[in-house]
Amino acid sequence: MTVAVVGSVNMDVVARVARIPRPGETLLATGSSRGGGGKGANQAVAAARAGGVPAVFIGAVGADGDGSALREALIRDGIDVSGLATAPLPTGVALISVSDDGENAIVVVSGANAAVDRLGDDQRALVAAADVVLAQLEIPLPGVLAAAEARADHAAFVLNAAPSGALAARDTAARVLAVVDVLVVNEHELRDILRGTGGDAGHELEAAVDAIAARVPALVVTLGAAGAVVAVGRERRHVPAFPTQAVDTTAAGDTFCGVLAARLSDAGRRPDADVLADAARAGAAAAALAVARPGAQEAVPTADEVAGLLETAS
């Protein structure tokens, strides 16, 4: 069983601030750091640390110091980076402000991630060999669709539709939903997609879930402290959140998605509601541990830590 993650990798430049600055305002940071990030790479790290299944990362970095550092960091986590190309662009950068209450504001400079608008033959072969293929929307949409097209017939294509702005366009949303096996979104992203399908984004949450669940085989909506909703056909499962004290929410959703994908791969079959709910529960536990720590990839917990929290909560 293998998880292939197709997506972005960035160097995160983080400033710790008392609060997120208002437009036009300058604040003095209390500290700063640099570390590995990008939704795709974060999710690959989470999948690798979940244990049990190998993780493959497919993306692009620049021929610069940041690209080399990010590649080496993924290798240290045991991730196969044979599909990580070197593009004639600078490595992607994310500029992140993190407030004392754990909230964040993020600006991404795509850089080399913009080169993942297609997959080479070797990259397609890595996707075709995977049991679960996980993608996000920090790379160009043609690259996401290429990943879905390259997957094996038995493989599940999991899309974390973040950031969701591109799917607010009707034609785009329809093309993407047509290739998804499992869609993972938060409530804001759910409403963007609902708008893109011509629905009423002002619907109550339950109606919004029903509307999008009718368009995809399986849907997971993360709701922060309220947990998550799993929808497969007409079946619904509520996955409670785990109590935590947030320090930095930067990679919470990425951690959730990577662990969920690893659990789905370990299950070895297309998920029904129960399998998906179990995977989402593990993802929620991992996310709760991640937000209690600063940083993105460095905050992702190990399989033993997740197992410990699940056992304590059961």
With bands split at pLDDT 50, 70 and 90, how would you rate the model's confidence at 1?
A: confident
For 127-139, give one letter per residue: b (16+ CB within 10 A) or e.
Answer: beebbbbbbbbbb
| Average pLDDT score over residue span 106-119 | 96
What band does 7 get if pLDDT is binned at 50, 70 and 90? very high
How many structural domains does the chain have? Answer: 1
What residue numbers bound the domain in which 128 lies?
3-313
Q: Over 80: is that where the pLDDT of 270 sits?
A: no
Report pLDDT for 26: 94
* Largest distance between two CA atoms of the chain: 52
Task: State pTM to two decimals.
Answer: 0.94
pLDDT in tens, 126-147: 999 999 999 999 999 999 999 9
* Residue 269: per-residue pLDDT: 64
SS3 50: coil
Contact 42, 5 (CB under 8 A): no
Note whether 130 and 164 are within 8 A (CB).
no
Nearest Cα to Cα of residue 151 among 33, 271, 266, 58: 58
CATH classification of the domain holding 75: 3.40.1190.20
3 has which bridge partners? 55, 132
- Which has the closest alpha carbon to 85: 126, 113, 66, 105? 113
Chain segment 30-85, per-residue pLDDT in tens: 999 999 999 999 999 999 999 889 999 999 999 999 999 999 999 999 999 999 99
**pLDDT value of position 169:** 67
Q: Check the CA dihedral 39-205-241-52 and report its sign.
A: negative
Q: What distance in Å separates the CA atoms of residue 128 and residue 149, rounded to the nearest whole number? A: 9
Tokens describing residue 48: 């690798």
- Please identify every residue annotated as catalytic: 254
Rounded to an integer, the average pLDDT of 177-191 is 95
Burial class (CB in 10 A: 0-12, 13-18, 19+), 116: buried
